[in-house]
Amino acid sequence: MTQQAKNADFVDWFRQSSPYIHAHRGRTFVLCFGGEAIAADAFPNLVHDIALLHGLGIRLILVHGARPQIEERLALRGAQMQLAEDGLRVTDDAALACVKDAAGAVRVELEALLSMGLANSPMAGARIRVASGNFVTARPLGVIDGVDYRHTGEVRRVDTTGLTQRLDAGAIALVPPLGYSPTGEVFNLAAADVATAVAEAIGADKLIFLSEHKVSGGRGKLPGSMIPSEVDRLLARRKSLPDELCRILRNAAAGCRAGIGRVHLVDRHTDGVLLGELFTRDGAGTLVTAEPYEHTRDAKIDDVGGILELIAPLEAAGVLVPRPREVLETEIDRFTVVERDGTVIGCAALYPFEKEATGELACVAVHPDYRNGGRGDALLAHMESRAKAGGLTSLFVLTTRTAHWFRERGFATASPDVLPGRRRDMYNWRRGAKVFVKPL
């Protein structure tokens, strides 16, 4: 690849990620990872990405586990934790000593890595403050089905004021898998439960689980997006899912139901997975949202019915030029649709004129129930990148009633004479549509 091509690639990538940089600034994300991630050789890379997110103005709360570190300490004492239902563990006195010891050591390790100058990296010289503390109040899990869980606990309360103060002061907050009781006891908690409770209490914009297991992409894996009822069905159906993943999924569904907008599950083994998930349109893992997921994609032949239904009223009102079903079927490859929960709620078409390196944007429509939500903008952005990928250097549109919408998005009035010859011949002077052109 030539230097020029590399630069063009970089510029393209940077432009595509910049809307996310803008959208994430000032938002609060809770990030949960296990002790396995901390023990891994690649952990400094993850810390580096965390530092980068912090540098981009994201308010971060890190919740960590310490399972392997606890087990290591137990093994040294020749002890082990009793495993009960659902992957839950009984924390006896010996285990609690190991839990405290491991949590302390992990905290020091994390603080050290986040304090590193991260030389030879874009974060060189960054000064990151880490604040940890007694943010979580816990109570004992108690006795369930005859099993006394001893020092294993559950979250009772989160000190949101304390956390918010640390975040407001520009620090990254660090929350261990421990909770304290008003009676001065310490309880061993599951990191995923702590992360969800913290995210709910603080009203986080995102809760992100870095899973030990592969999450999406490929056979037998989770779909790219799910809603809580789909998570419930999956948990009921797939009994063979690892305990850790079940706990994360249960938390994801519960968190969404409790009002966390977006819960992400990503595979922590993939280098750069956080950046891929947060700064690219399609993400890198599984997204659990309370709202049915919506996405913009190339149209398929099965979408013809949905598109016809969407544009029929606009054709009847003279806003769009009528397109019979047969035409739509042959031209379906030219269309992009916005699908929401299986229904087409938006569409647009691109007719390229390769010789003139331009393309016509047509049939731009968003269902009236879903207007003013930025979908028109998203469709336009999608069509522009589709046009650029096809080597086009401009887009034009013919419109009778939507002139201002296009003008506000960088299109400028032009005479019908600028249209490619073939299109000019087809221009319907009676309709009197105005021509607008946007250079790409």
Ligand X SMILES: CC(C)(COP(=O)(O)OP(=O)(O)OC[C@H]1O[C@@H](n2cnc3c(N)ncnc32)[C@H](O)[C@@H]1OP(=O)(O)O)[C@@H](O)C(=O)NCCC(=O)NCCS
Interface residue list for ligand X (CB under 6 A): 314, 319-320, 364-366, 371-377, 397, 399, 401-402, 404-405
**Distance between CA atoms of residues 29 and 387, nearest Å:** 34
- b/e sequence 231-269, b meaning 16+ C-beta within 10 Å: beebeeeeeebeebbbbbbbbbbbbbeeebbbbbbbbbe
Cβ distance to ligand X smaller for residue 230 or 377: 377
Closest by Cα among 341, 154, 176 to 247 = 154
DSSP, res 259: T
Q: How far is the CB of 346 from ligand X (least distance, A)?
A: 7
Closest residue by beta carbon to ligand X: 376
Q: How far is the CB of 20 from ligand X (least distance, A)?
A: 17
Phi and psi, residue 131, nearest 5° = -125, 120
Cβ distance to ligand X smaller for residue 37 or 320: 320
Cβ distance to ligand X smaller for residue 223 or 373: 373
Cβ distance to ligand X smaller for residue 147 or 381: 381
Cβ distance to ligand X smaller for residue 50 or 348: 348
Cβ distance to ligand X smaller for residue 308 or 314: 314
Q: Tell how far CA 2 is from the center of its chain.
A: 33
**Distance between CA atoms of residues 431 and 234, nearest Å:** 53
Q: How far is the CB of 407 from ligand X (least distance, A)?
A: 8
H/E stretch holding 236 reads helix 228-237
Q: How far is the CB of 207 from ligand X (least distance, A)?
A: 27
Tokens of 188: 């061993």
Tokens of 362: 């047509």
Q: How far is the CB of 297 from ligand X (least distance, A)?
A: 16
DSSP string computed for 386-424: HHHHTT--EEEEEESS-HHHHHTTT-EEE-GGGS-HHHH
Q: How far is the CB of 347 from ligand X (least distance, A)?
A: 9
Amino acid at 158: V
Cβ atoms of 435 and 412 closer than 8 Å:
no
Q: How far is the CB of 279 from ligand X (least distance, A)?
A: 21
Cβ distance to ligand X smaller for residue 171 or 320: 320
